[in-house]
Amino acid sequence: MTLFWPVLLIAFASLLAAFVRLPGQWKALWAVFPGAAFAWVVLSWPAVVGEGELMASIAWFEQLGATVDLRLDAYGGLMAGLVTGVGTLIIVYAAGYMEGQPGGSRLISMLLIFMAAMLGIVIADNLVLLFVFWELTSITSYLLVGFNHEKEDARKKALQALLVTGTGGLALLAGMVLLALEAGSWQISEILQRGDLVTASPYLPGIIVLILLGAFTKSAQFPFHFWLPNAMAAPTPVSAFLHSATMVKAGVFILGRFSPIFNGSEWWHGPVVVAGLVTLLVGAILGLFQTDLKKILAYTTLAVLGMLTMLIGFGSDLALKSMLVFLIGHALYKAALFMVAGGIDHGTGTRDVWKLGGLSAVMPFTMVAGALAAFSKAGFPPFLGFIGKEYVYKTGTSLDTLAPIFTGAMLLGNMLIFALALKVGWYPFWSKGKEAMLEGHPHEGGWMMWLPPLVLAVLGLVFGFIPVWTGDTLVLPALSEITGKSMHEHLALWHGITLPLILSLVTFVGGVLFYRAREFFWRKHDRVESSPKVEHAYDRLLVGMVKFAKRQTQAIQGGSLSRYMFIVVGATALLLLWKFVRFDGWPELTWEGRLAPIPVIACIWTMVGAIVAAVAKRRLIALLAMGVVGLGITVLFVNFGAPDLAITQLLVDGLTVVLLLLVIYRLPPIKAEANRWIIRADAALSVFFGMLIAALTLSAMQLHVVERVGETLAQMSYAEAYGRNVVNVILVDFRALDTFGEIIVLAIAAIGVTALLAASKERSSDED
Amino acid sequence: MPTELLQQAAADNHWAAIGPELMVGCLALLLLVLEIVLPKARHEIIPSVAVVGLLGIITGFVINYHTAFVGQTTFNGLLRHSGTGQFLRLFFLLAATGVSVLGIVALKRQKMPKVEFFAITLVVSGAMMLLAQANNFVMLFVALETVTVGFYILVSYTRTNPLSLEAGLKYLIMGALSSGILLFGIALLYGVAGNPALTAASADSMNFDALRVFLYANPDNIIAAVGIVLVLSGVAFKVGAVPFQIWIPDVYQGAPTPVTAFLAIASKAAGFAILLTLVTVFDGYQSLVVGVLTVMAIATILFGNLAALTQHNVKRLIGLSGVSHAGYLLVGVIAAIHVPFAVGAICFYLFAYLLGSLAVFGVMTHVSGDDDADQDMDHYADLAKTHPFLGVVLAVGLGSLAGIPPLAGFMGKLLVFLAAFEAGLYALLGVAILGVVISIYYYFGWIKAAFFPQWRPPVFEGDDPLPEPPRQVVSTPAGILLATAALASVLLGFYQGPLGAWLGLG
């Protein structure tokens, strides 16, 4: 059960931080909670590696297959360590960053709840639970990106991120439900055991596509990549946490999590590799044109996420190993660089590369952190970034098919990443001649702003120095988890003079060239920004949807009652028509050759009344015409031998006319309907509907009732009720209850009329 | 007529079986009597009597919910008592309690008679409780008309407000039309099923059991098919399924907020209670029913969500989003034909919807001004800052309606979707998920309005400093209601306990 407490602890801290307002720098104390969780992850690491996993479970919702199953394995544990470790530093940094600004507690509280959700994702062992945490990260990131909500832009971008990741999340849910139904279990560890059941399923393509949609939106893979640079509207601690180390890795994380099942399926490798490749190139190339430090970092994040996705797509043991090394390295240096960018922003008030320069003197600590992180990112030995890059090239060159193309893409991507790393971690500190352009006094922030990035950057160096330890302790256990077999090959810094090493050298040369040509690209920034992008398609989709929604609502829900009636009657008519067509229920028209005069007259009488009522220009005439219709029907009832119905009809009809007369008396005259087309449409629909009902009635008539109820009743009349007048007997004996009901209806109607009459009398005497 | 027959019929009348309904009716009468008996100055206790009485009935019901009548038919086949029926009865009692509390808050501002509102609410909920157990078209129609006529009055309750009157008139006309369609359908079914020329015809062809047998025996009867379609159309009116949703936005906007809540929660649930019963009755025409409902569900989900997207008046928004909820529930109803647990899923969904809606409508009641129809999204600016309690309740309620995990609404959606998955309704699910995505947009727009204040030009002297109406102070009963609804929305996401077990989900 100890598995629960790290999540609960952080969630509890979040709640506490929302209510307990610590002053200024003391807010850094909140880092104690994630720190404790981190310590717990570290301490349980030997047990995790030794036993393979730690598990805990409590019941939740059985019908859904949802139990709160948590499982800490080496792969999840690695991510858990990153989440809590980087998270601890981020909280300290956030406390420094927000010092003197309103809302610091709120930011920390939201960061903590996000952290709890993120931790939940990596240790959830149940699909429903995983989805719950997944959506929680989407929602909390919505709140975090929209933190500076006074800005219209921030709110818009926050919603954009939410819509993109939320949509993907639902696709993921659909994919996971299918997965669970096919595998017959909701527990992830169970499903991983039953991979063959899933791969044999006919739904496999659907499952893969849906899960990929979820992962790609979350990890900002092409073509869903646009939300990530836009999400830079968030405060820097948020970007450093969400958009480098954690949330965007969630997509990559579940790709790795499910890769043992899907590895080998043709539906898996193709899409994953292509999406990763395109994202890598798009991110790295567009990054060149960026002039905002955070935007540069966002695009390199895209590039790296693309690289990781591509590696997972290759699926070989070596590729997955490279992925893990690259992932750890990236989490360390990217979070550090974001914090450095935030520190520069904080100290100088700008993130614009055109204005920044010569900060090495005024911000020495930040400079060191930036340089170390940038070197790791650029891939200098002996940083962890170097090892990662070596392994990437190793993977690329050992591919069976298309090796030159992929290696070339990796090479280009790494060169660009190299250049971009220097732009963020080197350029603002060492470029000359810009000091005068900065307004105010650039200054170093407090220790809380430079220590966290420094710690991360140094770790990148340390891990690189001891590759065997890093590999054996961190990478190999996690790798064994996602490949499903135990892995022993050590990590090494030096592989001898091999093709990957040569490629690394080429990367340095190319990277330096790109770096030197930086201003060439920066000048084109505005033109690139305004060129057509996927985001515009998103915007157009959104605007189009809203526009369409407005049109349809105005057309249908305009508020005009006659339009409403038209729609309802029209829909009913269509439904009826459909039934007639489907059941072929058209009545057969036969002619018996004779017409009884009374029904014919009554029918014509009724029709005339109805037409007059429809075209009448004055209410009184329309009302009287309706009365005429009622009379016609009464005659029909009498003619077909239903005197009781006729009486009721006559009385109710008469009463209704009187009632309506009383109401009409007070109403203004009818305004003529202006639009002739509306009148025509109404008339056409009425005729159509009337004909359908007539057809229906005719069909009903063709079901002949064999038994004549009337004759039975006539025979029973004297024998049972001792009455010779059959109609009377029916009314007061056989169907006494019906008659009783009819009397009540009449009585109520009469009371209504009396009340109305009394009311109108009262009112007229008031008016006098 | 031989008296034994009457005796036999009367022997079937187990009045205890409809004890709760009788008590609700008596409570309604008691309120009216109190109004006559009590001096005018003491009249304000009458609403409290209604609420306390309802709470008493609920307590009694919960203690005795497992009555001996479950599984039986009583009153000569008019009523059938089922587990689902029991749940819905409790549902309607809870809804009536919530609406009454909201009524106390809302009516304070209006110069309208106070007592009738509560009495009518009680009568309507009693009728809904009977509706949920109807086993005969006569019973169903009479109960339904009792509900509808009650709503005619409630919708136009604030009769000094033209919008309320307009809403009442529209509801009356559209409601009469729908009742007409329903009645015509019932008449056709009655006629054709009572026709001795056809096999399995019954003398008691209004009875659902007899009708069901008849429909099975005559699978290709055009009159029966038309009757079924017309009945479904009539019911679609009550649940607000496209294209019979047409009355919803105008009526929801014009009606007093508590009545809107009542319409949204209880009237819709009543419609689904009927639908769930009828789907089993019309089993012989399954392909027809599924066809009609599928088309309706798709249109309802898409139309409801897209239409809600454009609304600035929150009452219209909640009305149209309610249309989309009806769409998801229709998906559940279709699934219920094949997957038994879908019925429980629908009940759970309705319950989550009840909680979320009560929370949201409760906040709306407190934020709205004297003009009940004018409730703009802009009025919610700064709500979280000035009234954090209302802000949080609103966020939880809307989050639950949007289906944000792990709130109760999410569980409801997941259950219904899961049932649909098991029934293999993949196309419908795709549409439903699309609908959920769109709904996030507008639900969060509302939350955004309450939590993320927009920049406003500075107010100059002499200008009206508050563009929004003054907000009400939250009274104790209303506070308890809101807190309960919000808390339960959160808790039900984690722990379903006896409720889940009751609905066969645990």
User: CB contacts < 8 Å between A and B, how many?
Assistant: 167
Sequence-distant (≥ 6) Cβ neighbours of residue B121 within 8 angstroms: B50, B96, B99, B100, B103, B150, B154, B262
Residue B32 · residue B119 · CB < 8 Å: yes
Reduce the DSSP state of residue B13 to 3 states and report it: coil
Does residue A412 fall inside a structural domain?
yes
Whether A159 sits inside 8 A of B433 (CB atoms) is no
Give the tokens for residue A114.
Answer: 């996000």
A550 CB within 8 Å of a chain B CB: yes
Whether A62 sits inside 8 A of B506 (CB atoms) is yes
Do A604 and A488 have their domain in common?
no
Whether B244 sits inside 8 A of A568 (CB atoms) is yes
Reduce the DSSP state of residue A59 to 3 states and report it: strand
Whether B223 sits inside 8 A of A170 (CB atoms) is no
Does residue A210 fall inside a structural domain?
no
User: CA-to-CA distance for B385 and B467, rounded, in angstroms?
Assistant: 16
A269 CB within 8 Å of a chain B CB: no
Run of H or E including B466: none
Which among B306, B311, B441 has CB closest to A163? B441
Whether B444 sits inside 8 A of A142 (CB atoms) is yes
Residues A483-514 have pLDDT tens digits of: 877 777 777 777 777 888 888 888 888 888 88
Query: Among residues A651, A684, A707, which one ends one of the domains?
Result: A707
Sequence-distant (≥ 6) Cβ neighbours of residue A622 within 8 angstroms: A612, A613, A614, A616
Do A273 and A377 have their domain in common?
yes
Q: How far is B89 from chain A (nearest CA, A)?
A: 24
Query: Among residues A707, A742, A758, which one ends one of the domains?
Result: A707
Whether A61 sits inside 8 A of B181 (CB atoms) is no
- Sort out which chain A residues have CB atoms less than 8 A from B440's CB and list them: 162-163, 166
- Sort out which chain A residues have CB atoms less than 8 A from B2's CB and list them: none
Do A379 and A496 have their domain in common?
yes
User: CA-to-CA distance for B379 and B369, rounded, in angstroms?
Assistant: 10
Reduce the DSSP state of residue A124 to 3 states and report it: strand
- Sort out which chain B residues have CB atoms less than 8 A from A723's CB and list them: none
Residue A304 · residue A377 · CB < 8 Å: no
Whether B494 sits inside 8 A of A162 (CB atoms) is no
SS (H, E, C) A707-740: CCHHHHHHHHHHHHHCCCCHHHHHHHHHCHHHHH
CA A68 to chain centre: 23
- Sort out which chain A residues have CB atoms less than 8 A from B303's CB and list them: 552, 556
Q: Domain containing A503: what range?
A: 265-523
Number of domains in chain A: 2
- Give Dmax (Cα) for chain B: 86
Do A678 and A631 have their domain in common?
yes
How many other CB atoms are there within 10 angstroms of residue B493's CB atom?
A: 23
Which among A162, A556, A707 has CB closest to B196? A707
**Comparing C-alpha atoms, which of A525, A358, A373, A364 is closest to residue A428?**
A358
Which residue ranges make up each domain of chain B?
A: 18-456+466-502
User: CA-to-CA distance for A432 and A427, rounded, in angstroms?
Assistant: 9
A707 CB within 8 Å of a chain B CB: yes
User: CA-to-CA distance for B325 and B238, rounded, in angstroms?
Assistant: 13
What was the pLDDT predicted at A428?
Answer: 82
Do A334 and A472 have their domain in common?
yes
- pLDDT value at A179 more than 60: yes
- pLDDT value at A241 more than 80: yes
What was the pLDDT predicted at A436?
Answer: 57
What was the pLDDT predicted at A724?
Answer: 78
User: CA-to-CA distance for A296 and A374, rounded, in angstroms?
Assistant: 13
ipTM score assigned to the predicted complex: 0.81
Does residue A698 fall inside a structural domain?
yes
What was the pLDDT predicted at B165?
Answer: 87
Sequence-distant (≥ 6) Cβ neighbours of residue A427 within 8 angstroms: A353, A356, A357, A518
What was the pLDDT predicted at A765?
Answer: 61
Which among A572, A699, A700 has CB closest to B181? A572
Q: How far is B416 from chain A (nearest CA, A)?
A: 10
Residue A731 · residue A739 · CB < 8 Å: yes
Does residue A205 fall inside a structural domain?
no
- Sort out which chain B residues have CB atoms less than 8 A from A582's CB and list them: 225, 288
A126, β-bridge pairs: A187
- Report residue A59: phi and psi, to 5°: -70, 150
Q: How far is B196 from chain A (nearest CA, A)?
A: 7
- Report residue B405: phi and psi, to 5°: -70, 150
Does residue A270 fall inside a structural domain?
yes
Q: What is the CA radius of gyration of chain B?
A: 23
What was the pLDDT predicted at B462?
Answer: 54
- pLDDT value at A476 more than 80: yes
- Sort out which chain A residues have CB atoms less than 8 A from B192's CB and list them: 700, 703
Whether B246 sits inside 8 A of A128 (CB atoms) is no
Do A436 and A361 have their domain in common?
yes
User: CA-to-CA distance for A703 and B195, rounded, in angstroms?
Assistant: 8
- Sort out which chain A residues have CB atoms less than 8 A from B311's CB and list them: 553
User: CA-to-CA distance for A628 and A649, rounded, in angstroms?
Assistant: 12
Confidence class for position A764, pLDDT limits 50, 70, 90: low
User: CA-to-CA distance for B235 and A424, rounded, in angstroms?
Assistant: 64
Interface of A with B in 506-545 (CB under 8 A): 545
Reduce the DSSP state of residue B61 to 3 states and report it: helix
Do A515 and A565 have their domain in common?
no
Q: Which residue of A lies nearest to B450 if distances are taken between CA atoms?
A: A149
Sequence-distant (≥ 6) Cβ neighbours of residue A260 within 8 angstroms: A192, A195, A482, A483, A484
| Pick among B226, B288, B305, B429 to test the A interface (most A CBs inside 10 A) | B226
User: CA-to-CA distance for B427 and B372, rounded, in angstroms?
Assistant: 40
Does the CA dihedral A737-A743-A747-A749 come out positive or negative?
A: positive
A497 CB within 8 Å of a chain B CB: no
Whether A699 sits inside 8 A of B223 (CB atoms) is yes
Give the CA-trace dihedral at A445, A450, A451, A455, to 10 degrees. Answer: 180
Does residue A608 fall inside a structural domain?
yes
Whether B170 sits inside 8 A of A162 (CB atoms) is no
| Pick among A129, A132, A137, A548 to test the B interface (most B CBs inside 10 A) | A132
Of residues A216 and A230, the one with the higher pLDDT is A216
What was the pLDDT predicted at A638?
Answer: 87
A585 CB within 8 Å of a chain B CB: yes
Sequence-distant (≥ 6) Cβ neighbours of residue B282 within 8 angstroms: B212, B215, B228, B288, B289
Indicate the pairing of strand B73-74 with strand B79-80.
antiparallel
Whether A63 sits inside 8 A of B505 (CB atoms) is yes
Which residue stretches of B108-256 are H helix? Answer: 115-131, 137-155, 162-193, 208-217, 222-239, 248-254
Q: Which residue of B lies nearest to A131 if distances are taken between CA atoms?
A: B405
What was the pLDDT predicted at B34?
Answer: 92
Residue A750, phi-psi category: left (phi > 0), alpha (psi -120 to 50), beta (remainder): alpha
User: CA-to-CA distance for A443 and A343, rounded, in angstroms?
Assistant: 9
Whether A552 sits inside 8 A of B307 (CB atoms) is yes
- Sort out which chain B residues have CB atoms less than 8 A from A719's CB and list them: none
Whether A565 sits inside 8 A of B173 (CB atoms) is yes
B417, β-bridge pairs: none
The list of chain B residues with pLDDT below 70 reads: 1-3, 5-6, 9, 67-68, 452-468, 505-506
- Computed over every residue of chain A, the mean pLDDT equals 83
Does residue A473 fall inside a structural domain?
yes
A722 CB within 8 Å of a chain B CB: no
Whether B229 sits inside 8 A of A579 (CB atoms) is yes
| Pick among A64, A557, A730 to test the B interface (most B CBs inside 10 A) | A557
Do A575 and A516 have their domain in common?
no
What was the pLDDT predicted at B375?
Answer: 83
Q: How distant, in Å, are the alpha carbons of A311, B72, B105 from that of B66? A: 60, 12, 34
User: CA-to-CA distance for B428 and B329, rounded, in angstroms?
Assistant: 11
Sequence-distant (≥ 6) Cβ neighbours of residue B191 within 8 angstroms: A700, B223
Query: Among residues A652, A687, A707, which one ends one of the domains?
Result: A707
What was the pLDDT predicted at A706?
Answer: 56
Reduced DSSP (H G I as helix, E B as strand, rest coil) percent helix, strand, coil of chain A, to 5: 75, 5, 20
Q: How far is A661 from chain B (nearest CA, A)?
A: 18
Residues A700-735 have pLDDT tens digits of: 777 665 556 667 777 777 777 787 777 778 778 777
Reduce the DSSP state of residue B199 to 3 states and report it: coil
- Sort out which chain B residues have CB atoms less than 8 A from A574's CB and list them: none
Does residue A326 fall inside a structural domain?
yes
Which among B306, B344, B405 has CB closest to A549? B306
- Sort out which chain B residues have CB atoms less than 8 A from A580's CB and list them: 222
Question: In this prediction, what percent of chain A has a pLDDT beyond 90?
Answer: 9
Do A456 and A569 have their domain in common?
no
Q: Which residue of A lies nearest to B437 if distances are taken between CA atoms?
A: A167
A187, β-bridge pairs: A126
Q: What is the CA radius of gyration of chain A?
A: 39
- Sort out which chain A residues have CB atoms less than 8 A from B221's CB and list them: 583
- Report residue A72: phi and psi, to 5°: -105, 105
What was the pLDDT predicted at A64?
Answer: 63
Q: How far is A680 from chain B (nearest CA, A)?
A: 22
Residues A102-135 have pLDDT tens digits of: 778 888 888 998 999 999 999 888 888 888 889 8
- Mean pLDDT within A50-63: 74
Q: How distant, in Å, are the alpha carbons of A227, A232, A437, B438 from that of A158? A: 9, 10, 32, 16
- Look at chain A and count its residues: 768
